[in-house]
Amino acid sequence: NIIFMIAIIMGNLVFSQGIEWGNIEQIPVGYQYVIDSNSNGDIIVGGFELNSDYAMQIYYKQNNQDWIEIPGNEQVTIMNGDLLITDTQTIYVCDFAMGLYGTNDLGNSWTGLAELTNEGCSAFNIHESGTFFVGMTYTGIGFIHRSFDNGLSWESIPLPDYDSNYPVEHIEFDSAGNIYLGTINGIYKSSDNGENWQKMNNGINGEHISSIHIDDNNNIYIYTTYSAQSDGMYYSIDNAESWVGIPIPDYYVVDIVTQDNIVLIIDG
């Protein structure tokens, strides 16, 4: 059985130990916080503080040590973008307006403007093969870009039947190496490291993928919307070949996470 829980979290970063929740005092109240971790247990949080000049704020935690603030890139605000930390502690920040930036020394130095991408970044992730995948906000409409050389050069790959003027918003992988893109036109899937793509919308009504999550068993959960209203939540147990609707209350889902058989959705 799948158990659904609703979490409403705004402003503060919170943590849970069992059923108790509390604020992380070392991280100030902020806006647009995003979070990532690696297989070593390192955690990275980025966003910007409400009382700052909107420059990037990044906080880092290694295993059970205290949170520390690391130098951010003043050109980037992490507005609606992804944040990623690798097992070697390289950090990547994807900013919708300014592009993709990276640091391999915990923020002491960052790649420069247009060094990794020459336009905005709508989504970013690194495949188990080492291939970089990025959604670009201008020339990337209707395409996914990939790089085999850590972002030094990019190849644009067209997405079939793409009839929107908005870029790719989500890039996720399952344990078999399949790649899933969440877009305003629905779900796209590739089984060959991004060489070929298929649209996988069988059973979906609203095709705008607002949230996507893949659990440890390769079950896929998505939340979809129409152009001006919410649609609903769906899941797939067959690698996106088909989708089944999940009845949920009248919430606007901004994120989905799972643990064991429990699915948690964050309401915006």
User: Is pLDDT above 50 for 9?
Assistant: no
What b/e sequence results for 21-31 when a residue is b if at least 16 CB atoms lie within 10 Å of its CB, and e otherwise?
eeeeeebbebb
As beta bridge partners, residue 232 has 224
Nearest-angstrom CA–CA distance, 160 and 140: 13
Tell me: the pLDDT tens digits for 65-104? 888 988 888 777 666 578 999 999 999 999 888 899 999 9
Q: Yes or no: is domain 3-267 CATH 2.130.10.10?
A: yes
> CB-based contacts of 51: which residues, under 8 Å, 6+ apart?
28
Tell me: the pLDDT tens digits for 93-144? 998 888 999 999 999 999 988 899 999 999 999 999 999 999 999 889 999 9
Q: Return the pLDDT at 1.
A: 43
Q: Return the pLDDT at 3.
A: 45
Residue 264 vs residues 7, 46, 165, 257, 260: alpha-carbon distances, Å: 7, 22, 31, 5, 11
Determine if residue 231 is left, alpha or beta; phi over 0 gives left, psi from -120 to 50 gives alpha, anything else beta. alpha
Nearest-angstrom CA–CA distance, 255 and 268: 9
Read off φ and ψ for residue 187, nearest 5 degrees. -95, 135
Helix (H) or strand (E) holding 145: strand 143-147
What the block records as the tokens of 171 is: 């890039």
Q: Which residue has the higher pLDDT, 244 or 56?
A: 244
Nearest-angstrom CA–CA distance, 139 and 141: 6
What b/e sequence results for 222-239 when a residue is b if at least 16 CB atoms lie within 10 Å of its CB, and e otherwise?
bbbbeeeebbbbbbbeeb
Q: From the centroid of its chain, how far is CA 107?
A: 21
Tell me: the pLDDT tens digits for 168-224? 999 999 999 999 999 999 999 999 999 999 999 999 998 899 999 999 899 999 999
CB 172 within 8 A of CB 182: yes
Nearest-angstrom CA–CA distance, 261 and 1: 7
Q: What is the dihedral of CA 143, 144, 145, 148, to 10 degrees?
A: -140
